[in-house]
Structures are given as structure tokens and as C-alpha cells.
């Protein structure tokens, strides 16, 4: 994990701009309208649909592949540094209320007082289904064709072609 401070003036300005853009997108009358939000992302593929209620902190390190669907109220806590990148492959299904958390806070009180954050990338392969209310923590890779059960908390990497469920998420079968 890489340490960064969110009090950096450049990061504060980017976060404000991103928040404003997300709010405008979420008020948009057009379902799945990406015009307002596409500019935030490092890359956003063709045929992507993002439902209202979407939130990200910075956006500049987020990549979304083609034909991915992100359902309502998705929270993406990304970082403005490479180590806080979030990559979502093509043909993914992200359920309602999913949280992708590439950023975390320090456990030590002195570090928290200094507003130090820790970032590690999240990588989601192609054709992955993340069920409603699942949480994916920093530093996680989810392999192609995998399924994350609703409400699961993903604390370890998930190999391709597997189904995981629970808190913490555990493999229940191969696909």
C-alpha cells in the first residue's frame, strides 16, 4: 500500500471537481447518461451503463471496460495516485450498493491525525459479476468470469472462474 495525504491542495481541488460532476450526473434525467461523468475516468469503454447514485473520489485512475453495467449507488473510493487505481474489465455486472474501496485509513491514531491514507489498486477481470452490497477492499484482484455473492466482503484475491460468498468471502465452487 502507498501512503498519500488527501490534504494536498491539488488533490482537494480534484476531489471537489469530481464530487460536483458526480452530483450533476446523479441528477441527470437521462438514465445511464455518461456525458457528464465520462471525462472523470482514465478510460471508459463503449456501451458502459452507470446508474444514478454513483460516487467516486477522484476518478482519474478509474478504467472501465466495454459493456460493463454499474447498478445504483455504487461507491468507488479511489486515489489520485497510480497505487489507488481501480480497473473494471469488460462485460462486468456491478450490483446495487457495491463498494470498491482502494483507499483506507491508518490504524495508528497519530497517522490518522495527519490525514494519511493508504491506497492499493483493485483489479476486476472481464465478465465478473459482483452481487448487491458486496465490498471489495484495497489491493484485491478478482479473476475473469468470477462471481462475488451479495453482501460479501472481499479481503483476498479471487481466482478466475470461481464463486465466493460471505464475510470474509470464501470460495464455494468453481465455474
Q: Kindly name the residue from 16, 105, 112, 173 that is annotated as catalytic.
A: 105
The CA–CA distances, whole Å, from 90 to 2, 71, 129 equal 27, 15, 11
In this structure, what C-alpha cell is assigned to residue 8?
Answer: 494536498
- Pairwise CA distance, residues 40 & 26, whole Å: 14
The CA–CA distances, whole Å, from 75 to 71, 103, 125 equal 10, 12, 18
HSE, CB side, 13 Å, CA atoms: give it for residue 130: 35
Query: Is 55 an active-site residue?
Result: no
CA–centroid distance for 106 within its chain: 20
Burial class of residue 45, CB neighbours in 10 A (0-12, 13-18, 19+)? middle
Is-cis flag, bond preceding 168, omega within 30? yes
Q: Which residues are catalytic?
A: 105
Amino acid at each position: 500500500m502507498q501512503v498519500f495525504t488527501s490534504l494536498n491542495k491539488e488533490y482537494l481541488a480534484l476531489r471537489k471537481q469530481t464530487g460536483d460532476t458526480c452530483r450533476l450526473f446523479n441528477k441527470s434525467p437521462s438514465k445511464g447518461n455518461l456525458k457528464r461523468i465520462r471525462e472523470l475516468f482514465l478510460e471508459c469503454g463503449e456501451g458502459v451503463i452507470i446508474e444514478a447514485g454513483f460516487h467516486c473520489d477522484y476518478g482519474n485512475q478509474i478504467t472501465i471496460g466495454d459493456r460493463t453495467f454499474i447498478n445504483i449507488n455504487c461507491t468507488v473510493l479511489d486515489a489520485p495516485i497510480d497505487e489507488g487505481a481501480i480497473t473494471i474489465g469488460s462485460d462486468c455486472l456491478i450490483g446495487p450498493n457495491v463498494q470498491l474501496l482502494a483507499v483506507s485509513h491508518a490504524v495508528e491514531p497519530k497517522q490518522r491525525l495527519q490525514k494519511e491514507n493508504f491506497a492499493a489498486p483493485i483489479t476486476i477481470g472481464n465478465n465478473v459479476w459482483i452481487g448487491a452490497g458486496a465490498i471489495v477492499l484495497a489491493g484485491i484482484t478478482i479473476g475473469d468470469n468470477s462471481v462475488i455473492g451479495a453482501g460479501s466482503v472481499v479481503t483476498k484475491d479471487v481466482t478466475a472462474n470461481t464463486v465466493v460468498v460471505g464475510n470474509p468471502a470464501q470460495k464455494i465452487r468453481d465455474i
